[in-house]
Amino acid sequence: EVLEVRELTGTCTGDQVTAYLDTLAAECRPGQLTVVVLDNAAFHKGALIRQRREVWEQQGLYLRYLPPYAPFLNLIEEVWRRLKGILMPRRCYNSVAELRDALLTGLKILGTRFI
């Protein structure tokens, strides 16, 4: 398991998710199964993603969706718990930049791969 993070500015969109999945699919090896588990956010299920799904599967990348209302199955919830409860100091940050730096430090401690 590897936690991969791509920093975005603004709202996450289906185009951004598609670009990430295209990048991931390009790294897949023939015969190697790669599964991405997604929640049911609208930007994970849009028309562009549905159109690209067959192409990604031919490259060895498969999408699977969590059941609705099942945060206990979502592995990112454990990451957030560790970040907020252990790795990031419990305090107010003086700026968004300071909060961002603390978050990036915590993610690095978790061995995150930044893409």
Closest CA to 51 of 18, 29, 16: 18
Top-confidence range, 18-22, 74-78, 84-88: 18-22
Amino acid sitting at position 26 = A
User: Taking the complete model, does pTM exceed 0.85, yes or no?
Assistant: no
For the stretch 19-49, pLDDT in tens is: 999 999 999 987 888 999 998 889 999 999 9
85 in helix, strand or coil?
helix
Alpha helices in the chain (DSSP H): 14-27, 47-59, 75-82, 96-109
At the topology level of CATH, where does 4-114 sit?
A: Nucleotidyltransferase; domain 5 (3.30.420)
